[in-house]
Amino acid sequence: MTRLVLRFLTFLRAVRVSAGGVRRAANAVTILMFLGGLAFPLYGYLLHEPAPPRNELRPLFPSPGIPRSGGDLRLFPAAFEPYFNDRVGYRQTLLDWQRSVVFDTLGDSTVRNVWVGRKGWLYLDVAVKRDIPPPPLAAWADTLADRHAWCAARGLVYVALIAPEKSEIYPEYLPGRLRNRPLPDLITGLHEQLHGTPVRLVDVRPALFAAKRDEPVPVYFRLDSHWTSIGGLAAYQVVGRALAETVPGFTPTPAAAFRRVPTTFQGQDLSRMIGCTPERCTAETEYLVGPRTPTVRALSESARAALTADDLLWPEPMSESDCSGAQGPPAILIGDSFSWGLLTPFQTDFRRLTRVLMHEFPKTLIEQEKPKVIVQEIVYRRLREAPPTDPVGVAGARLQVGER
C-alpha cells in the first residue's frame, strides 16, 4: 500500500512538472507572437515604400515633423498616430485579412460608420447619437430663406431639395436592430419651418418611392450611399415641375424620354470603406441618354476665379455644359455628391448649366454667370449640422423683404 501511495505522489509531481513546462512553453509562444506582431509591421514600415490607401481615395497623412516647442510636443502623439498608421508595414494585407474574417466570414462591418444589412445591402451609419444637440432646422430655414430672398430680388428662381438617406427609402434591408428605429424626419421638419414663406423646397421622397415600386432597377445603390441615375431622374422630375411653375416656357423632359443603357458603375463607396477590393466595388446599373446631347467641359477659368474669390474652389470636379435646343434658361446646380445623379437631366434641359460641389452659396459666381435658375441640393445628414455662413448681402436678405 505504501508503495502504491509513493508511486501516485511521484506521478502527481511529474504531472505538475509537465504542466509547468507547458505553461512556460505557452508563455514563450505568446511572447514570441507579441514581438512578431510588433516587428512584422515595423519591418514593413522601415523597408517598404508606403502606398496611398487603396480604398479610401485620399493621400497619405503627412509627417508631423520634429517638435520644436512644448506645444508641438504635446500635439505630436495625435499627429504621429495617423501618419504611422498609414505607413504600417503590410497595412493593406492586414486590412484584407480583417475584411476576410469580419465581413466575408462573420458578416459584420470592419468600420463603425457602415451598417451591414440584409441580402448584401450596405448603409451609411447616420443614427442619431444621444450626446449631439438637436438639428438646427430653424437656422437652415433662415439660410434657405436668405438665399431665396437674395435671388428673388434679382429676378432669379431658387429651388431647393433634400436628398433623403438610403435607409429611409429602403428600410426593409436594414439590420434587424435598426429596422424599427427610423431616422428623425428632418425633411418634414424643415418644410414645417418654411411653412408660410415663398421658399420653394420640394420633397422628392414620394417620387423616389414611386420609382422604387415601378422601376426594374433600384433607385439607390446596394453597396453605395447614393441614389442611382434612376433615383436622380425621379428626383429631377419633381424639381422640374416646380421650375415649370415659375419659368416661362419650360417643361422638364419626361422620364420616359430618357433611354436607359446598362452599365457597370465603379467606386461603390460603402463597400470601399469596408475594405473590399476594387473589383468588388462595382455595381450593375443604368445610365441615361437624353433626347438632346449636351457639350460638357471642365469649369472655365473665369468660373474658377469667381469661386476662388469666395474661397469656394474645392479640388472636387465641377463642370459646365451647353445644350442646343434645350428649353431651360442658364442655370447653376449647387450640391454635394448626390448632384451627380441629377446631372444628365439638368444638362439635357438647360441651355447652359454650371454645376458646383458645395453647400455654400457661390455669390460671386452667380453674379458673374448671370443664370436665371439656381437649384440647391442638400443631403439629409447635412441638416444635423449648422448651415454654412453666407456671404455679406446674402446673409439676412430675408429680413429686408420680411420673408420670415
Alpha carbon distance, N-terminus to C-terminus of the chain: 103
Question: What residue ranges of the chain have pLDDT lower than 50?
Answer: 1, 4-5, 12, 15, 130
Closest CA to 158 of 198, 120, 105: 198
Q: Specify the pLDDT at position 268.
A: 87
3 found inside a domain: no
| Residue 11 is assigned to a structural domain of this protein | no
Residue pair 128/184 in contact by the 8 Å Cβ criterion: yes
Look at residues 89, 122, 155 and tell me which one is the last residue of a structural domain: 89
Domain span holding position 263: 137-401
Whether residue 268 sits in one domain with residue 211: yes
Indicate whether 107 belongs to any domain: no
Residue 246 lies in a domain: yes
Whose grid coordinates read 455644359?
321
The whole-number pLDDT of residue 123 equals: 92
Q: Are residues 247 and 394 in the same domain?
A: yes
d(CA 374, CA 157): 6
Supply the pLDDT for residue 56.
Answer: 58
**Domains: count for the chain:** 2
Q: Are both 67 and 202 inside the same structural domain?
A: no
pLDDT tens digit sequence for 78-119: 767 777 666 666 666 666 666 676 676 766 778 788 889 999
Q: What pLDDT, on a 0 to 100 scale, did the predictor assign at position 5?
A: 47
Strand 157-163 and strand 373-379: the pairing is parallel
Q: What Cα–Cα distance (Å) separates residue 70 from each residue in 66, 74, 76, 132, 393?
A: 12, 6, 10, 33, 43
The 10s digit of each residue's pLDDT in 36-62 is 555 656 655 555 666 666 565 556 667
Residue 161: the pLDDT is: 98
CA dist., res. 211 & res. 218, Å (int): 8
pLDDT for 62 equals 72
Per DSSP, the three-state class of 248 is: coil
